[in-house]
């Protein structure tokens, strides 16, 4: 388990210190004679305490978040991830040589999906962070289909969640859906490339896309501004929906409003990544040393790294909610409209081996779906049959629970 002092705590729009909280944590509370009633508020049930209860419960349960990084090879995706989370997620990475790529027939090479999970704890709040890296994106000579495996991965996670939701063990679903995708834009180009546009158009209804300009230290300040404008124009012209930072409520604090305004202004974030710690005027900073000076990763006048990190900290909950309410709902309604369409891959099926309420392992026959013989309609029919069987098991379990309850009553 790693501890990062750098990620801001998860947003709690109604923190315990906010006005609706009945007791501010710093306040000294006198011990009352009767702990079950409050003489200041006689007759109150105490509903105002609900936000505190939810807060406590969520902190205890922990949070799950999945971040995907996509962009041409060598744009600094892995370096940025290591810089953001101060962990070396890729210690054993071996870079393939150009010859090896040719030998592997990179003409038809597909994107590799690298999934790593770390648990990060900050001030008692635990986040299970999954990073999905996509080395190999844009490496092939023909890149037209290079994002198919990425789409497939995202769909698989939705499918897995859908299966878990309709399965027997709904209480402890592990959420591996991709909540955010940092899309890396090449700083050496003149805006978006056709591949960037194609990718974002195919993915914007499935995942929250946050565009970032990679290696911003290779551009002057004016060039960064020019590229940002160009990228935003092209995003608009192509009707691409990137993650919309939500507007603040009017009752939000001024500082928070200002922070969100600056975050909105910084899109697409021009970032620099580095895990090297340098000495600048006696201060230890992470940055990149050049003959003419040091680029400090966390200096807001050098790049937007700190803003991007802040976005993750302050909008993690919103990114998760948009994933659930918009992207997952899209997938779910499409999938249900299609009926029992085949499960996309073994990954989705693996999730179906659930545990029933009595602790017994219920390996519903659905687990065999990936190896079902036959093509589309045959698989559809079998999937429907299996779903029906599962519903039957559920009904029987409910009946048994009722009978047990009746027996208990009689005793």
Residue numbers at the binding site for ligand GTP (CB under 6 A): 73-79, 135, 215, 217-218, 272-273
Q: Beta strand pairing status for 293-296 and 283-290?
A: antiparallel
CB 148, min distance to ligand GTP, A: 17
Closest CA to 322 of 240, 245, 235: 245
Identify which of residues 271 and 382 has a Cβ nearer to ligand GTP in the complex.
271
Query: Tokens for 352?
Result: 């179906």
Identify which of residues 85 and 161 has a Cβ nearer to Mg ion in the complex.
85
Q: Are 374 and 364 in contact (CB under 8 A)?
A: no
Query: What string marks each residue from 31 to 70 as x (binds Mg ion by CB under 5 A) or -?
Result: ----------------------------------------
Which string of b and e fits 158-167 if b means at least 16 CB within 10 Å?
bbbbbbbeeb
Identify which of residues 131 and 263 has a Cβ nearer to Mg ion in the complex.
131
Edge-to-edge strand ranges of the sheet holding 277-280: 277-280, 283-290, 293-296
CB atoms closer than 10 angstroms to residue 169: 15
CB 132, min distance to Mg ion, A: 12
Pairwise CA distance, residues 13 & 179, whole Å: 19
Identify which of residues 212 and 316 has a Cβ nearer to ligand GTP in the complex.
212
CB 357, min distance to ligand GTP, A: 44
Q: Which residue is nearest to ligand GTP (CB)?
A: 76
Q: Does 135 bind Mg ion (CB under 5 A)?
A: yes
- Residue 74 interaction partner, one of ligand GTP, Mg ion, none, beta carbon < 5-8 Å per kind: ligand GTP
The gap from C-alpha 291 to its chain's centroid, in whole angstroms, comes to: 38
CB 257, min distance to Mg ion, A: 36
Query: What string marks each residue from 282 to 321 as x (binds Mg ion by CB under 5 A) or -?
Result: ----------------------------------------
Pairwise CA distance, residues 199 & 150, whole Å: 10
Identify which of residues 269 and 328 has a Cβ nearer to ligand GTP in the complex.
269
Give the number of residues written for the chain. 411
Q: Does 78 bind Mg ion (CB under 5 A)?
A: yes
Identify which of residues 139 and 175 has a Cβ nearer to ligand GTP in the complex.
139
Residue 329: phi and psi, rounded to 5, are: -60, -40
Q: Which helix (H) or strand (E) holds 229?
A: helix 221-237
CB 174, min distance to ligand GTP, A: 26
Residue with tokens 């009352």: 32
Give the binding site for Mg ion (CB under 5 A): 77-78, 135
């Amino acid at each position: 388990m790693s501890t990062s002092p750098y990620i801001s705590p998860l947003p709690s729009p109604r923190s315990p210190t906010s006005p609706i909280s009945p007791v501010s944590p710093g306040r000294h509370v006198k011990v009352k004679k009767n702990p079950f009633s409050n003489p200041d508020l006689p007759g109150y049930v105490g509903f105002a305490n609900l936000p505190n209860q939810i807060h406590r419960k969520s902190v205890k349960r922990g949070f799950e978040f999945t971040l995907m990084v996509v962009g041409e090879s060598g744009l600094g995706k892995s370096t940025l991830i290591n810089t953001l989370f101060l962990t070396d997620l890729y210690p054993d990475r071996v870079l393939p040589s150009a010859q090896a790529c040719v030998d592997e027939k990179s003409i038809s090479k597909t994107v590799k999906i690298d999934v790593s999970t770390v648990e990060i704890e900050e001030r008692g709040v635990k986040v299970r962070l999954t990073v999905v890296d996509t080395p190999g994106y844009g490496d092939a000579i023909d890149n037209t289909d290079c994002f198919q495996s990425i789409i497939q991965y995202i769909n698989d996670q939705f499918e897995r969640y859908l299966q878990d939701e309709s399965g027997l063990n709904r209480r402890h679903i592990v959420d591996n859906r991709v909540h955010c995708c940092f899309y890396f834009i090449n700083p050496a180009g003149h805006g978006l490339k056709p591949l960037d546009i194609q990718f974002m158009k195919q993915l914007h209804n499935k995942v929250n896309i946050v565009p970032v300009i990679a290696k911003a230290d290779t551009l002057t300040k004016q060039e960064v501004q020019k590229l940002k404008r160009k990228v935003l124009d092209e995003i608009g012209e192509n009707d691409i929906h990137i993650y919309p930072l939500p507007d603040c409520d009017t009752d939000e604090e001024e500082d928070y409003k200002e922070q969100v305004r600056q975050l909105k202004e910084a899109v697409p974030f021009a970032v620099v990544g580095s895990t090297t710690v340098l000495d600048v005027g006696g201060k230890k900073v992470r940055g990149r040393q050049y003959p003419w000076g040091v680029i400090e990763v966390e200096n807001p006048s050098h790049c937007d790294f700190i803003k991007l990190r802040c976005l993750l900290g302050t909008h993690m909950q919103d990114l998760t909610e948009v994933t659930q309410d918009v992207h997952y709902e899209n997938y779910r309604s499409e999938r249900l409209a299609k009926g029992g369409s085949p499960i996309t891959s073994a990954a989705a099926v693996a999730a179906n081996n659930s545990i029933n309420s009595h602790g017994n392992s219920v390996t519903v026959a659905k687990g065999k779906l990936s190896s079902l013989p036959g093509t589309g309609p045959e698989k559809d029919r079998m999937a429907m049959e299996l779903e029906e069987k599962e519903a039957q098991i559920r009904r029987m379990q409910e009946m048994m629970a009722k009978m047990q309850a009746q027996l208990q009553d009689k005793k």
